[in-house]
């Protein structure tokens, strides 16, 4: 036998019962926690970052951003922004640098109810959280392996699923309720369905500025009454004020203006697409993404100095053979990580879209593409890995099964983020000496019991059986196993965190299109 075979220790004993007693299967992991810092992967050199920064300042000063609305001009022209000969809004270098100097470097998003305090997110430095988002128009049907239009019930179902998945820290509107076409009904029903289903912090997108005020009414009701939301915001606001290359999009620009005024956090999600709406060279797309993102940071800070804004440069990739958007590639993983590094260069809170596989199904492509984009963005130190859970098909669809799989992936990645604690205890020089000189298996050593819970994440879904056992058990793949978890949770966990009294009041006041029957077992 070769050394390769010899080296695998399988089922060797020593204290197995003691270890089993320590480990109970579904306990929350003690080896990871939300907000473990990344930042140990640095794709760009210091010189590269300085040059990208310089290019972005040139773009903001010379090229500027097109289609500014009068309301915006009234706010920012008196404070030093300028209009160039093309009618584009420009930002002199000194102005951009001044605004960067005063920009907030942190914010909190609070959890509600029984999660308050312990599940709050503190977005700053290189602390990493996993966040849902996506507003996908289709949902994956695992039974038929095909995509169907997403519904309001899906929003409730995705959220109550995530309510039970420990490693996804932030709720997001992963899908669009295509069965609720009217804008106001949609946005209020979306907010209701999500806040009813989980008390985790959330990032939500709205179709128009008019929906923010009624949404805050709903947030207040969820948080304990009038004025409670603004005291401890549990929601931040997604939506991109930029249409690449370098133009404003009206609706989300208006939302940015309103949230900045109210001191609320905007997650910009600026999406230039290399080779299509930004240059084919990755450096050029990065420079444009930085310029576009900084334009929003400057605007928010001109409106309300020090208001937290997320450096949400989300550069995307095009398959230049076809011109199609593609979410899963080495280029995507690399440029997302580099964008995060630029945000950390500015000491701004960051987010990035990642885990954007092009695969339509949770297969090996799905795993390869997701893990590569997750891992590099996390190790670059993204505060929020967005589009995280369940997204498939180049962001066109969301899947319950994938959500469960991604939750497992998040646990693995968090463990790598935590790194290796080096101390006299962990270096174990004396334990090594004793076990080497007087041969004893480490499995039975008291040190192993002491460290087994704090040093290791134990997966719930990853197969670690012997090959024979796996074959005899029906040769299931991870996708099949994830279906069981989805069924378990969705058939039993029907929360309504508003409670029945508040629920009645909400349903009287707002057009909530989610029927009560969707919120209980059939």
DSSP string, 63-112: I-BB---HHHHHHHGGGT-EE-TTS-EE--HHHHHHHHHHS--EEEE---
Which of positions 8-27 make contact with a copy of itself (CB under 8 A)?
8-14, 16, 19-20, 23
What angle do the packed helices 250-262 and 212-223 form, to 10 degrees? Answer: 50
User: Which of 124, 273, 344, 383 is the binder for a copy of itself (CB under 8 A)?
Assistant: 273
Which of positions 311-370 make contact with a copy of itself (CB under 8 A)?
316-326, 328-331, 333-335, 337-338, 358-370
Q: Is 231 in the site for a copy of itself (CB under 8 A)?
A: no
Which of positions 34-53 make contact with a copy of itself (CB under 8 A)?
40-44, 47-48, 51-52
Using the structure block, give the residue that is written with the tokens 């609070």.
Answer: 110
3-state helix/strand/coil string of 272-285: CEECCCECCCHHHH
> 234 or 273: whose CB is closer to a copy of itself?
273
Total number of residues binding a copy of itself (CB under 8 A)? 168
Q: Is 433 in the site for a copy of itself (CB under 8 A)?
A: yes
> 396 or 490: whose CB is closer to a copy of itself?
396
User: Which of 185, 304, 347, 447 is the binder for a copy of itself (CB under 8 A)?
Assistant: 447
Query: Does the CA dihedral 368-370-375-377 come out positive or negative?
Result: positive
> 75 or 246: whose CB is closer to a copy of itself?
246
User: Which of 138, 198, 259, 301 is the binder for a copy of itself (CB under 8 A)?
Assistant: 138
- Using an 8 Å Cβ cutoff, are 338 and 350 in contact? no
Q: Are strands 89-90 and 82-83 parallel, antiparallel or unpaired?
A: antiparallel
Distance of closest approach, residue 236 Cβ to a copy of itself, in angstroms = 15
> 145 or 509: whose CB is closer to a copy of itself?
145
Distance CA 311, CA 298 (A): 11
Q: Is 201 in the site for a copy of itself (CB under 8 A)?
A: no
User: Which of 452, 485, 489, 513 is the binder for a copy of itself (CB under 8 A)?
Assistant: 452
**468 to 487: interface string for a copy of itself, x by CB under 8 A:** --xx---x-xxx--x-----
Using the structure block, give the residue that is written with the tokens 């593609």.
Answer: 326
> 62 or 231: whose CB is closer to a copy of itself?
62
**279 to 308: interface string for a copy of itself, x by CB under 8 A:** xxxxxx-xxx--x-----------------
> 5 or 500: whose CB is closer to a copy of itself?
5
Helix H or strand E segment including 405: helix 400-418
Q: Is 460 in the site for a copy of itself (CB under 8 A)?
A: no
> 223 or 351: whose CB is closer to a copy of itself?
351
Which of positions 147-186 make contact with a copy of itself (CB under 8 A)?
147, 176
Which of positions 232-251 make contact with a copy of itself (CB under 8 A)?
239-240, 243-247, 249
Q: Is 423 in the site for a copy of itself (CB under 8 A)?
A: yes
Distance CA 340, CA 384 (A): 10
- State both tokens at 298: 């400057």
Q: Which stretch binds a copy of itself (CB under 8 A): 100-108, 303-311, 454-462, 486-494?
A: 454-462
CA angle, 258 then 301 then 249, to 5°: 50
CA angle, 54 then 58 then 62, to 5°: 175
Distance CA 137, CA 147 (A): 9
490-507: burial string, b at 16+ Cβ within 10 Å, e else: beeeeebbbeeeebeebe
Q: Which residues touch 388 (CB under 8 Å, ≥6 apart)?
A: 130, 131, 132, 133, 168, 354, 355, 374, 406, 410
Which of positions 393-412 make contact with a copy of itself (CB under 8 A)?
393-397, 405, 408-409, 411-412
Q: How many Cα atoms occupy the beta-carbon half-sphere of 136 within 13 Å?
A: 29
> 107 or 366: whose CB is closer to a copy of itself?
366
Q: Which stretch binds a copy of itself (CB under 8 A): 224-232, 344-352, 371-379, 491-499?
A: 371-379
> 78 or 181: whose CB is closer to a copy of itself?
181
For 508, list phi and psi in degrees, rounded to 5: -75, -40
Q: Is 204 in the site for a copy of itself (CB under 8 A)?
A: no
Q: Is 464 in the site for a copy of itself (CB under 8 A)?
A: yes
Using the structure block, give the residue that is written with the tokens 């039970």.
Answer: 164
Distance of closest approach, residue 113 Cβ to a copy of itself, in angstroms = 28
For 322, list phi and psi in degrees, rounded to 5: -120, -20
> 71 or 425: whose CB is closer to a copy of itself?
425
Q: Is 134 in the site for a copy of itself (CB under 8 A)?
A: yes
> 112 or 370: whose CB is closer to a copy of itself?
370
Q: Which residues touch 103 (CB under 8 Å, ≥6 apart)?
A: 297, 301, 306, 309, 346, 348
Which of positions 72-101 make contact with a copy of itself (CB under 8 A)?
86, 88
Distance CA 40, CA 45 (A): 13
> 88 or 112: whose CB is closer to a copy of itself?
88
Distance of closest approach, residue 9 Cβ to a copy of itself, in angstroms = 4
Which of positions 101-120 make contact with a copy of itself (CB under 8 A)?
none
Q: Is 141 in the site for a copy of itself (CB under 8 A)?
A: no
Beta bridge partners of 138: 149, 397
């Amino acid at each position: 036998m070769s050394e390769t075979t010899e080296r695998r220790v399988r089922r060797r004993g020593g204290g197995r019962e003691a270890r089993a007693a320590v480990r109970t299967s579904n306990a929350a992991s003690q080896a990871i926690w939300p907000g473990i810092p990344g930042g140990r992967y640095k794709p760009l050199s210091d010189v590269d970052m300085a040059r990208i920064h310089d290019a972005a300042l040139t773009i903001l000063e010379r090229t500027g951003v097109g289609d500014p609305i009068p309301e915006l001009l009234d706010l920012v022209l008196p404070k030093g922004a300028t209009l160039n000969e093309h009618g584009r809004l420009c930002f002199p270098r000194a102005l951009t640098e001044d605004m960067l100097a005063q920009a907030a470097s942190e914010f909190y998003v609070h959890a509600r109810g029984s999660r308050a305090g312990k599940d709050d997110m503190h977005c700053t430095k290189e602390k990493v959280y996993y966040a849902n988002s996506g507003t996908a128009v289709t949902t994956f049907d695992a039974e038929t392996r095909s995509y169907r239009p997403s519904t309001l019930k899906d929003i409730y179902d995705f959220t109550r699923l995530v309510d039970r998945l420990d490693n996804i820290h932030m709720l997001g509107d992963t899908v669009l309720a295509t069965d609720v076409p009217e804008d106001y009904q949609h946005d209020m029903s979306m907010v209701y369905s999500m806040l009813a289903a989980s008390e985790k912090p959330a990032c939500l997108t709205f179709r128009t500025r008019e929906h923010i005020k009624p949404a805050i009414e709903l947030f207040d009701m969820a948080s304990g009454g009038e004025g409670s939301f603004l005291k401890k915001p549990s929601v931040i606001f997604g939506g991109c004020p930029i249409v690449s290359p370098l133009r404003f999009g009206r609706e989300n620009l208006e939302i940015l203006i309103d949230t900045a005024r109210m001191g609320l956090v905007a997650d910009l999600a600026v999406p230039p697409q290399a080779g299509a709406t930004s240059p084919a060279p990755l450096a050029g797309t990065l420079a444009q993404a930085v310029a576009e993102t900084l334009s929003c940071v400057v605007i928010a800070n001109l409106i309300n100095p020090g208001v937290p804004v997320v450096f949400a440069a989300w550069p995307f990739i095009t398959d230049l053979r076809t011109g199609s958007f593609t979410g899963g590639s080495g280029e995507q993983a690399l440029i997302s990580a580099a964008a995060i590094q630029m945000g950390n260069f500015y000491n701004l809170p960051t987010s990035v879209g990642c885990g954007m596989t092009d695969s339509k199904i949770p297969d090996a492509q799905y795993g390869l593409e997701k893990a590569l984009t997750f891992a590099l963005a996390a190790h670059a130190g993204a505060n929020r890995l967005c589009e995280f859970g369940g997204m498939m098909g180049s962001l066109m669809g969301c899947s319950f099964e994938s959500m469960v799989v991604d939750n497992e992936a998040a646990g693995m990645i968090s463990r790598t983020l935590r790194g290796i604690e080096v101390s006299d205890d962990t270096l174990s020089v004396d334990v090594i000496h004793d076990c080497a000189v007087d041969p004893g298996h480490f499995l039975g050593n008291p040190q192993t019991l002491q460290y087994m819970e704090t040093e290791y994440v134990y997966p719930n879904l990853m197969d670690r059986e012997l090959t024979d056992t796996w074959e005899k058990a029906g040769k299931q793949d991870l996708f099949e196993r994830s279906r069981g978890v989805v069924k378990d949770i969705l058939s039993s966990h029907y929360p309504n965190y508003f409670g029945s009294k508040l629920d009645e009041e909400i349903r009287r006041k707002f057009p909530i299109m989610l029927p009560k029957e969707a919120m209980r077992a059939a």
